[in-house]
Amino acid sequence: MIDGKEFVTGHTLRHIQQQPRHLLIRGQDFFDSQVKYVSIVDDETFPHQKFNLFVPDVCKDAKLVGSSYGLFCLYDDKTSMVVIWNPSIRKTALTTVVPCKPCSMIDVFFGVCHNTLDPKIVKITRITNQVEVFTLSLGAWRSPLSNTCPRKWISMGIMGSSQAFDGFIYWDALDTNNEGPRNVSLIMSFDLTSEEFTELYLPTTPFAYLYVSTLRESIGVFDLHLDTRPQVVNVWIMRGRGCTRSFEKLYHINLSDASISIPRAFRSSGTPIAEMENNQFDSPVALAAYEPGSKDITEIWNHGIAYAFRVHSYMETLLLLGH
């Protein structure tokens, strides 16, 4: 049966690399403040194949946490409800309420285990760094399989970005307990199979605003230096696997020359996508693709609210069809 677990799993593993890539964009309209979701085919037709997505009511006001294998995780911090959504088949799995104590601050991450294709949600309580994992197949929260957890003073970074890739979840983080004058920026990773945490560092200055996304067939990091003159963003790509992972710098962009405000993602070609700079207070901003070589700008979405855009690359799958 097409909605049987065996068919869905086999189809996903055999065909996911053959599917065209899409960009899912979440933004807010400047004029009516409505949250909108748009999917764009990321090929030579970009950005003309643009489609407005049907969004379930439970997803409209929720925060877009992350994506993996064509699934998206949304978290509503008002109700503490987490929803897993497959926009390709218009299917959601209403998962659970995230367990948290009153007044506690938590970070939520999402990924699909590439061995089992089982979606996992990871919850980390700040300060105590208590970790709990929810697997969709079991439908329950539990302690992680590994006894490792982030160090006590490691917290979610300022940019609040995360990305699942190749069996790991990556996110920007801060070490707030160091001997230097400022916090130290780093990338945290979570192994979706062993459920172990690892700290990864860029070979750059200790503090920067980091933004994590997929870049070609790896992880890319925007390394923003907003306290320098001129303001610049370095672009890094992760090389290697497992314990050999390291970051290689590809190029840098002068933000004032490029009119970029906040980078959000990469196209499949490696072209950065960013919010464009707007010097006028309380006015709409645009999301655009920027070619570092030619400096060409291709507008994707205009009349948006600044800092509200989220962009994720994905490929269509049938996951959740039989759930």
Distance CA 302, CA 307 (A): 13
Q: pTM for the whole thing?
A: 0.91
pLDDT band at 20 (very low <50, low <70, confident <90, very high): confident
**What type of residue sits at position 248?**
E
Nearest CA among 203, 247, 251, 256 for reference residue 226: 256
- Alpha-carbon Rg for the chain in angstroms: 19
Counts for the chain of helices (H) and strands (E), in that order: 2, 25
User: How large is the average pLDDT for residues 47-53?
Assistant: 90
Cβ contact 64:74 at 8 Å:
yes
pLDDT band at 18 (very low <50, low <70, confident <90, very high): low
* pLDDT, tens digit (0-9, with 9 covering 90-100), for 104-125: 788 999 999 988 889 999 999 8
Q: What are the Cα distances from residue 119, in Å, to 2, 83, 319? A: 20, 11, 9
Which two three-digit tokens encode residue 154? 């490691």
Question: Which sequence spans correspond to the domains of the chain?
Answer: 1-53+259-323
Nearest CA among 267, 184, 253 for reference residue 220: 267
DSSP string, 146-168: SS----TTEEE-SS--EEEETTE
Cβ contact 30:306 at 8 Å:
no
* pLDDT, tens digit (0-9, with 9 covering 90-100), for 211-262: 999 998 899 999 998 777 778 999 999 999 888 899 999 999 998 788 888 9
3-state secondary structure of 255: helix
Distance CA 316, CA 21 (A): 8
Which two three-digit tokens encode residue 314? 């994905």
Distance CA 163, CA 310 (A): 12
Cβ contact 97:123 at 8 Å:
no
